[in-house]
A and B are shown apart, each in its own frame.
Chain A
């Protein structure tokens, strides 16, 4: 069977057709043969029976008359029947009466007869017939025996010939049939088989089987094709899903790698931290290895395990620690506690910050404590040092302030003295020189009078110096009070005062409109009086004198300027200009004490601003000043900054 199983469909079909035909032929042949044999036997039996009947009837008289010769003659008639080999007649008593043997036949062994039934017996190709001889009065008068033969093999042989001929024809028909079957059934199946093999070998689902017939095989081809396309689709989907899965796996691997990397980094970080990292269970007991704790405190694992770690803290801090862990366990807000922890490396207690964090698992269940111990000893010391230094510094500042206050009060009493005491002698000098002239007018000659005049001029000048010095010191002591000030209006007022003092002067004055500044009005007034006073003074010898007050904007910085076209000065001496008692002109040329610009500069300094100048001899001077450091001190209130010339004459 296994051999059959392996054979191709084509062979199977062929063998099937062949076997079916042959079997049909054989069965038919055998049936026919059996039927024929049966008929032959029956005919023979009937024939022999009739023959025996006939011989028996013919022999009846012979028997009745006991004429065995007649019986032999009757038997001899059987010669015409070549298939009868022998015959015998028995009398009623079973004794042989007459017999016959065909010529050429083998000597016959006669059976014993007497009584019994009629019978026909077959043995091989021989037939034996026993019959009773009955007369007209139905009495048994004797028995007859016949032995015939018939040729079964000849008959079978001829039948076989027929079967063989029919078998050969059937074989031929089977061959033709199988060829036709191969064309209509096997080829499409083979096609599908080849295709299937191809698909299996190449994994290519695109080819399709050719549909030749419209029967079940056609249906099979269709189904196969549908299956192929289905499998192709499924395979594609599977491959896509595979690719996706591959991606996912790669990603997961990447994530895993990153996680491992991050964990390594974390470990590395922890190992480099000077901070001690620890973990304790819910009852504040250390479990497992606490490497950084061990490294810091020098406690062995046996020493720190359980609650042993607590003993590494200073004995005096135990109570604080207990309170801290207790309140942390109760969920009270505890961030950090400062304690003294034994450090093995320095063999000393150092101040550390203990900071625990409660760890909850995914279900929100409290699991353990993890935390840090940070050495803040150096920081504490530094802070203490800073605090100490601060206290010291404060002390020093107090000291300095006291000294400064002392110096200030000295300065105040000095300026008070200057104001009070220095002026008195001057008044006396002036008064007495006047008294000399008044009381002894007649005795005072021209030269004496000249000297007395000079004494008076000197006292006057000294009085002015004292006044200016007092003004300077007042500016230093004055409490600065900033408020918005209309500088334009203030400048115009000062210029009007100057004009009123010297009504004969003709000066072309131009003050820009709406220059608003944030300044102390009293100090600003002093500064403007000095600056404009200077401009007024130094243009006194200039025909067509001009004074201008304006503002320059440079980004956020607003610079105010006071410009004149007066005597000016050499810029080489500009740095001396703002020192007290510095003068660039002779007193005879222009009067003055040289304190004015020092006063102006002090006003600017008090405001955090500064003052500088540009000048050329005989070409006038421009003084620039700011009232705030790097800040837009002036705010232009009016939208127009156009020059607004004001004539005061």
Chain B
């Protein structure tokens, strides 16, 4: 679990709070990084700008990406990630308020692994986030990393 890391890209502090609370309630709050716009998200991922010097060998297990972001929006961030070898296969979950077909189509076309709408009711929100964490951190397999559930098997 130690090398498991979640990157939350969220500009709304309330949503950030709710997401963190949900992850914490699900017991997945060990290593959660939060960036507040698209540009910072890229800086973090590639160790540039404000995040220069960060160990870029350590990539997030999953990125929870909002679509509506200051500077660069979620789709732009996703496109940049998919163009770079370091982040090409990093799982990205679009976590957004939008239920527009267009947003979904664009997200999947840009290489999103999942598209989840934020529920309004907090109880539902907790449920969604914990399920996401469980799936991407514990069940989903990516090269070079053993999933938690299978490590002892």
User: Judging by beta carbons under 8 Å apart, are B118 and A416 in contact?
Assistant: no
The stretch that binds A, out of B34-42, B77-85, B97-105, B138-146, is B97-105
Interface size class of B (residues with CB under 8 A): 20 to 34
Chain A residues positioned under 8 Å from B119 (CB to CB):
427
Residues of B within 8 A of A459 (CB): 120-121
Encode B10-21 as 1/0 by CB contact (under 8 A) with A. Answer: 001011011001
**Distance to closest chain B CB from A523 (angstroms):** 14
Which of B18, B96, B125 has the most C-beta atoms of chain A within 10 angstroms of its own C-beta?
B18
A423-B118, A434-B122, A459-B120 are contacts. A428–B98 as well, Cβ < 8 Å? no
Instruction: Contact check, B120 vs A423: say whether CB atoms are below 8 A apart.
Output: yes
List the B side residues contacting A428 at CB < 8 Å: 12, 14-15, 17-18
17 CB-based A-B contacts, threshold 8 Å = A416-B100, A419-B97, A420-B67, A420-B98, A423-B97, A423-B118, A424-B97, A426-B120, A427-B14, A427-B18, A428-B12, A428-B14, A428-B17, A428-B18, A430-B122, A431-B122, A434-B122
B interface residues, Cβ below 8 angstroms from A: 12, 14-15, 17-18, 21, 67-68, 96-100, 118-123, 125
How many Cβ-Cβ contacts under 8 Å join chain A to chain B? 60
Q: What chain B residues lie within 8 Å of A264 (beta carbons)?
A: none
Nearest to A430 among chain B residues (CB) is B122
Residues of chain B within 8 A of A421, CB atoms compared: 68, 97
Asked if A430 meets B121 with Cβ closer than 8 Å, knowing A419-B100, A423-B97, the reply is: yes
Contact yes or no, A424 B14, CB < 8 A: yes
A435 and chain B: residue at smallest CB distance? B21
A427–B98 CB distance below 8 A: no
Q: In this complex, what residue of A is CB-closest to B101?
A: A474
CB distance from B124 to the nearest CB of A (A): 9
How many residues on A have C-beta within 8 angstroms of the other chain's C-beta atoms? Answer: 21
Contact B68 A420 (CB under 8 A): yes
Least distance between B107 CB and chain A CB atoms (Å): 14
Instruction: Select from chain B the residue with minimum beta-carbon distance to A415.
Output: B100
* Cβ-neighbour of A463 out of B21, B100, B120 (below 8 A): B120
Contact at B18–A470, with CB atoms within 8 Å? no
- Say yes or no: B120 contacts A434, CB within 8 Å: no
Contact call A419/B99, Cβ cutoff below 8 A:
yes
Cα–Cα, bound, A420→B95 (Å): 11
A633 to B18, CA, bound (A): 50
Is B21 touching A427 in the complex (CB atoms < 8 A)? no
A-chain residues with CB within 8 Å of residue B98 when the two chains form the complex: 416, 419-420
Chain B nearest CB: distance from A480 CB in Å?
16
In the bound complex, do residue B125 and residue A427 qualify as a contact, i.e. CB atoms below 8 Å apart?
yes
The distance from the CB of B105 to the nearest CB of chain A, in whole angstroms, is 14
Residue in chain B with minimal CB distance to A433: B122
Which residues in window 448-465 of A have CB below 8 A to B?
A: 456, 459-460, 463
For A456, the chain B residues whose CB sits under 8 A away are: 121
Contact (A427, B100) CB under 8 Å given A434-B123, A459-B120, A463-B120: no
Q: Is A441 an interface residue (CB 8 A)?
A: no
User: Given contacts A416-B100, A427-B125, A428-B18, could you give 11 more A-B pairs where the C-beta distance is less than 8 Å?
Assistant: A419-B97, A419-B100, A421-B97, A423-B118, A423-B120, A424-B12, A427-B15, A428-B17, A431-B18, A435-B122, A460-B121
